[in-house]
């Protein structure tokens, strides 16, 4: 089967989009490949088609391990593949052990072609052992910029991918990202252990997207004005949750941020995707994995900290190829000071970071030389109140400590409901259980084989009536019940240290690069002499682009020429 035949047979397309065929040929030739494609460029086809071709030719290479950071994206892609008759599975946090085992067994013994997992899953020794026996022919790394410390969204868990390559030494890697500077491109290939440098890129130019900077000292009114002038679906990005809620109330629409439960986030995203909600006001928690082609305008209420993030979020507009707008609101009096303040908020002094480390250890009652491997729920507001710490800088300090390897800090982690039963089945009759309680316990014992020995993730707790039954059983000591919650978690990757050391690579160098990114973002907003798209493309290494002719700067320059 040829790539084009696979494309038509499984996906119904007659031809590839630009660059897709070149990427697929590189993968099929067994070369490590870094593919740079703008948002909406069709990245998934680039690993799906070669996997299906390889699997048809060689069953021992029929499986693609897809590493991606979003559970929602995993589920969507698995569902889409299954709807096309392609066998796919996913393993993610919250699945019980039996379901994980079944998924991996299916990939080993069944006609499966895709196994999705998060980079955090690669930390599991048992999971890595299972991977070594699977018929994997390709490793696909989505959002590959996350592996680079010089990227805008570095995640230490991505470094675990190198351990997988050691287990599968002859398996090529396809790394995919929509945003990467030249420096990040080199770092991705280094961290993923590319045998040879091999970058295939599609121009980041978006001919249908109009980049506009609108200067204003009344942003709410400006947002309302833009939305009244541009019909169709819209996203308004803001920096924090409070502003998301306030602006949504002002606009009489809905909001989205990481503080919502998974159910709330899914419901709001689905309502917006269907068109039931026209405008969504959101923090940057919203967007990755969105597949909505008809977004007509993306408005940035606040300046992002870097052009990578701005380009990716703005690029969610106009994926259908029709005219769309990316509007950045800029308050010349207040925004420069606000964005500069992020430097100290993001990189507080080293002494403060060390203070946060020890105060957090004290708060969690972790003594010197202990704590290794333990995981804690961490309520930041409570920590800051008790230990008298500033909230924003404390978040940043915990992220720095995580990057330095002292802890694994996961922000806005949703804990799935868990249950452990303590009373043996033959003694339950002594507890005078209600019919509903007895039925629930019987269901749990049949569904979760390890529920007597350890806490098990239970999907039944999502129902309110079941939640109340579990609470009543826990109050009587029959079970331990940990309800679903949204918060932060901290895992001790080292014993508590008496002193910590932050290397220049973790602190000074990253701070310098962050300052440079802030400066580039501010210059983009402030300048009115050069084409906006040219400025963006030059930042990503495309220095030969011509003026777009339709951004606010190009239009203003054109009007000046006509006037003269």
**Residue 427 pLDDT more than 60?**
yes
Average pLDDT of the residues of the chain: 90
**Same domain membership, residue 132 and residue 15:** yes
The whole-angstrom separation of Cα 32 and Cα 30 is: 7
For helices 241-251 and 219-229, the axis angle rounded to 10 degrees is 50
114 phi and psi angles, rounded to 5 deg: -140, 130
Which pLDDT tens digit goes with each residue over 291-340?
A: 788 999 999 999 999 999 899 899 999 989 999 999 999 999 999 999 99
Sign of CA dihedral 170, 115, 270, 265: negative
pLDDT at 289: 61
Its domain, for residue 441, covers 418-483
Phi-psi bin for 219: left (phi > 0), alpha (psi -120 to 50), beta? alpha
Q: Is the pLDDT of residue 564 over 60?
A: no
**What phi, psi does 132 have (nearest 5°)?**
-60, -20
For residue 286, what is the domain's CATH number?
3.40.50.300
Could you tell me if 33 and 122 lie in one domain?
yes
pLDDT at 181: 87
Q: Does residue 139 contact residue 119 with C-beta atoms inside 8 Å?
A: no
The answer on 317 and 363 residing in a single domain is no
Task: Looking at the structure, tell me whether residues 60 and 190 fall in a common domain.
Answer: yes
CA distances, 82 to each of 7, 30, 288 (Å): 16, 26, 21
pLDDT value of residue 98 = 80
pLDDT at 117 over 80: yes
Please give the Cα distance from 154 to 180 (Å, whole number).
Answer: 12
Bridge partner list, 479: 421
Residue 513: predicted pLDDT: 87
- What's residue 413's pLDDT? 58
Per-residue model confidence as pLDDT tens digits over 357-404 = 999 999 999 999 999 888 888 888 899 999 999 999 999 999 999 888
Same domain flag for 181 and 54? yes
Mean pLDDT of 209-215: 97
pLDDT bin (cut points 50, 70, 90) of residue 93 is low
Counting Cβ atoms within 10 Å, is residue 242 exposed (0-12), middle (13-18) or buried (19+)? exposed
For residue 344, tell me if it sits in a domain: no
Considering the domain architecture, whether residues 219 and 275 belong to the same structural domain is answered as yes
Q: Would 123 be classed as within a structural domain?
A: yes
Of 123, 124, 110, 120, residue with least CA distance to 67: 120
SS3 state at 276: coil
Picking from 271, 175, 152, the residue whose alpha carbon sits closest to that of residue 521 is: 152
CB 67, CB 141: distance < 8 Å: yes
Q: Give the residues across from 508 on adjacent strands.
A: none
Residue 413 lies in a domain: no
pLDDT at 384: 94
Tokens encoding 378: 């961490």
Number of domains in the chain: 4
């Amino acid at each position: 089967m040829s790539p084009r035949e696979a494309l038509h047979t499984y996906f119904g397309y007659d031809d590839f989009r630009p660059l897709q065929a070149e990427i697929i040929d590189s993968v099929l030739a067994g070369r490590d490949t870094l593919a740079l494609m703008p948002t909406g460029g069709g990245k998934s086809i680039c690993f799906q088609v070669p996997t299906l071709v390889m699997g048809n030719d060689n069953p021992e290479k029929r499986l693609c391990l897809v590493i991606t950071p979003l559970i929602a994206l995993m589920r969507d892609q698995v569902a889409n593949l299954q709807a096309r008759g392609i066998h796919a599975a996913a393993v993610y946090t919250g699945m019980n052990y039996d379901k994980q085992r079944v998924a991996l067994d299916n990939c080993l013994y069944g006609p499966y072609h895709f196994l999705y997992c998060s980079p955090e899953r690669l930390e599991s020794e048992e999971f890595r052992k299972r991977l070594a026996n699977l018929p994997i022919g390709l490793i696909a790394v989505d959002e590959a910029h996350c592996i680079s410390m010089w990227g805008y969204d570095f995640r230490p868990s991505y470094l675990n991918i190198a351990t997988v390559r050691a287990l599968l030494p002859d398996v090529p890697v396809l790394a995919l990202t929509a945003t990467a500077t030249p420096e990040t491109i080199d770092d991705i290939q280094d961290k993923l252990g590319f045998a040879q440098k091999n970058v295939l890129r599609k121009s980041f130019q978006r001919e249908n997207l109009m980049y506009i900077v609108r200067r204003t000292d009344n942003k709410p009114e400006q947002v309302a004005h833009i939305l009244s002038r541009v019909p169709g679906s819209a996203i308004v990005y803001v920096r924090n949750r409070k502003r998301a809620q306030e602006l949504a109330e002002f606009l009489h629409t809905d909001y989205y941020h990481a503080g919502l439960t998974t159910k709330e986030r899914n419901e709001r995203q689905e309502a917006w995707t269907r068109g039931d909600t026209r405008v969504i006001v959101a923090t940057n928690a919203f967007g990755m994995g969105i597949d909505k082609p008809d977004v007509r305008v993306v408005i940035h209420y606040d300046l992002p900290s870097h052009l990578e993030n701005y380009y990716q979020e703005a690029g969610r507009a106009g994926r259908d190829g029709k005219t769309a707008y990316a509007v950045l609101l800029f308050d010349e009096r207040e925004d420069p000071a606000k964005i500069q303040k992020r430097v100290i908020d993001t990189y507080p002094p080293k002494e403060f970071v060390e203070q946060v480390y020890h105060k957090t250890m004290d708060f969690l009652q972790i003594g010197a030389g202990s704590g290794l491997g333990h995981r804690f729920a961490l309520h930041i507001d409570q920590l800051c109140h008790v230990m008298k710490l500033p909230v924003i800088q404390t978040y940043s300090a915990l992220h720095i400590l995580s990057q330095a390897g002292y802890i694994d800090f996961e922000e806005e982690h949703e804990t799935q409901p868990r249950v452990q039963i303590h009373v043996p089945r033959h003694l339950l009759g002594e507890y005078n259980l209600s019919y509903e309680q007895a039925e629930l316990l019987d269901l749990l014992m049949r569904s979760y084989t390890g529920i007597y020995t350890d806490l098990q993730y239970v999907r039944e707790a999502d129902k309110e009536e079941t939640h109340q039954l579990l609470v009543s059983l826990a109050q009587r000591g029959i079970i331990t019940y940990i309800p679903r919650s949204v918060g932060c978690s901290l895992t001790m990757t080292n014993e508590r240290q008496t002193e910590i050391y932050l290397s220049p690579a973790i602190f000074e160098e990253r701070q310098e690069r962050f300052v440079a990114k802030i400066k580039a973002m501010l210059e983009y907003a402030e300048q009115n002499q050069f084409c906006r798209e040219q400025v963006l493309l030059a930042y990503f290494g495309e220095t030969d682009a011509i003026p777009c002719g339709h951004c606010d700067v190009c239009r203003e320059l054109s009007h000046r020429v006509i006037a003269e």
